[in-house]
Amino acid sequence: MTIPDSGYMMENGGIGLPCTPDEEKRIITELTNKAESILEEGNLYYVISNRWFTGWQRYTGQGIGAYPFDEHCTDSQSLVLSKTVDRPGPIDNTDIVLDGNDCEGDDLQLLRTLQEGSDYVLVPQEVWEKLFYWYTGGPSLPRKLISQGVHKKFIVEVYPLCLKLIDSRNNSQSVIRLSRKASLHELYEKVCALNGIELEKARIWDYFNKRKHTVLVDSSQTLEESNLQIDQDILLEEQVDGLWPSGFGMDSTGNELALVPIEPSRSSTTIAGGPALSNGFSTGYSSSFFQGSTLS
C-alpha cells in the first residue's frame, strides 16, 4: 500500500489524513454509529455523489454499498482490496447538481432525476466534515432531518420546497426554496428581504396554476400545512397608500378588510410533491447511510 507523501497531503488539504484506508473506515464507522444514536429534528445530513463515494469505498476496501461494514471482512482482507486502488481525489458533487448554479448549500439545486443509493448517498454532518477535512472538494449539499406524520418519523428532506415567486409590481419571477417545515412567517421574511418590501406591506397569495386561491397569512403555520406544491406559483403584492393591487384596502377604522379566497381551496390530501420521489424526501435511513427504512 502506498501512503501519500507530505507534499501530496499538504496540496490536497489532508494534513489530518489517517495512516491507512482502514483507519478512515474505522473513523467513519464510529461517527456514523454516533449520529444514529442521537437523531433529532433539525440535524444536518449531506448529499454526496455516489460516483465519488463508491471510489472512497473501494479505496477503504469495502464492497460497494456495504453499509454497515461487513463484520466478517478482516483488516488484512481490506488491505489487500485497497492495495490496487488509488486514493480518491477531492469530493466531487458536480454530477448531481444543475449546471450554472452559483450558490451553495440549501439553495443549490439538485438534478431532478436523482435516486438515493444509485446517484447519491446521505451522510451525517460529522461524517461530511471528516471527509471534507481529508479530501476537500464539494460543493457542500446540506439537508435537514425533519419529522413527518403522526408517528413523527424522521426523514431527510433532500429536495426542499421550491416555489416560483411572481412579483405583481413588475411581473418579475424568482425562485424561493425553503423547508416544508418552515413557517409562513419565514416565507414572508425571505420574500420581503429579497424584494425590498416592508413585512407589514406585503401579501403573498397561493397562486397555484396562476389563479388566486387564498392569501397565505403571515403566521407560524408551516408551508406543508398550507398545502403548497413543489414548483407552484406564489404571488407577491405590495400595499401602497393603504390599498392592495387587487382592490382590498382599509375600512373606516383603519383595519384591513376581511380577505376571502378567490378560488376554492384545494384538497388537503394533496401534499408538496418532490421530483425524484413522491414527497421530495429521502426514502430511508439505515446504517447503510440511510438507504433502506425510514428513520424512527
Residue pair 177/165 in contact (Cβ under 8 Å)? The answer is no
Instruction: Please provide the size of the chain in residues.
Output: 296
Same domain? For 92 and 111 the reply is yes
Query: Of 132, 45, 44, which is closest to residue 92 (Cα–Cα)?
Result: 132
Residue 1 lies in a domain: no
What is the C-alpha separation between 144 and 41, in angstroms, rounded? 8
Residues 6+ apart with CB under 8 A from 167: 173, 174, 195, 236
List the grid coordinates of 53.
Answer: 463515494
In this structure, the number of other CB atoms found within 10 A of the CB of residue 38 comes to 8
Residue pair 142/106 in contact (Cβ under 8 Å)? The answer is yes
Domain at 18, CATH number: 3.30.2230.10
Same domain? For 172 and 65 the reply is no
What is the C-alpha separation between 101 and 228, in angstroms, rounded? 24
Same domain? For 208 and 139 the reply is no
Residue 113 lies in a domain: yes
Same domain? For 144 and 183 the reply is no
Residue 217 lies in a domain: yes
Same domain? For 151 and 171 the reply is no
Q: How far is CA 16 from CA 13, 30, 271, in A?
A: 8, 17, 45
Same domain? For 108 and 73 the reply is yes
Range of the domain at 230: 160-273
Same domain? For 11 and 124 the reply is yes
Q: How many domains does the chain have?
A: 2
Residue 280 lies in a domain: no
Residue 168 lies in a domain: yes
The pLDDT of residue 263 is 45
Same domain? For 127 and 194 the reply is no
Residue 222 lies in a domain: yes
Whole-model pTM: value is 0.72
What is the C-alpha separation between 136 and 139, in angstroms, rounded? 9
The pLDDT of residue 284 is 44
Same domain? For 164 and 115 the reply is no
Same domain? For 142 and 170 the reply is no
The pLDDT of residue 243 is 94
Residue 283 lies in a domain: no
What is the C-alpha separation between 1 and 61, in angstroms, rounded? 12
Last residue of a domain, one of 156, 174, 192: 156
Residue 194 lies in a domain: yes
Same domain? For 145 and 180 the reply is no
Last residue of a domain, one of 134, 156, 178: 156
What is the C-alpha separation between 276 and 109, in angstroms, rounded? 13
Residue 233 sits at the vertex; the CA angle it makes with 228 and 237, to the nearest 5 degrees, is 105
If you write DSSP's letter for every residue of the chain in order, what string do you get?
A: -PPPPHHHHHHTT-TT--SSHHHHHHHHHHHHHHHHTT--TT-EEEEEEHHHHHHHHHHTT--TT--S--TT--HHHHHHHHHTSPPP-SEE-GGGB-TT----GGGSPBPTT--BTTTEEEEEHHHHHHHHHHH-EE---EEEEEEETTTTEEEE-SS-EEEEEEETTTTEEEEEEE-TTSBHHHHHHHHHHHHT--GGGEEEEE-GGGS--EEE-SSS-BTTTTTPPTT-EEEEEE-BTTB-TTS--B-TTSPBPP---SSPPPPTT--PPPSSSSSSS-S-B-TTTS-SB-B-
Last residue of a domain, one of 103, 137, 156: 156
Same domain? For 83 and 164 the reply is no
In this structure, the number of other CB atoms found within 10 A of the CB of residue 123 comes to 22
pLDDT mean by block of 10 residues, the chain; 296 residues: 43 57 94 93 96 95 61 48 77 89 63 94 97 96 88 90 96 94 97 96 96 96 94 96 70 40 40 39 43 38
Domain at 168, CATH number: 3.10.20.90
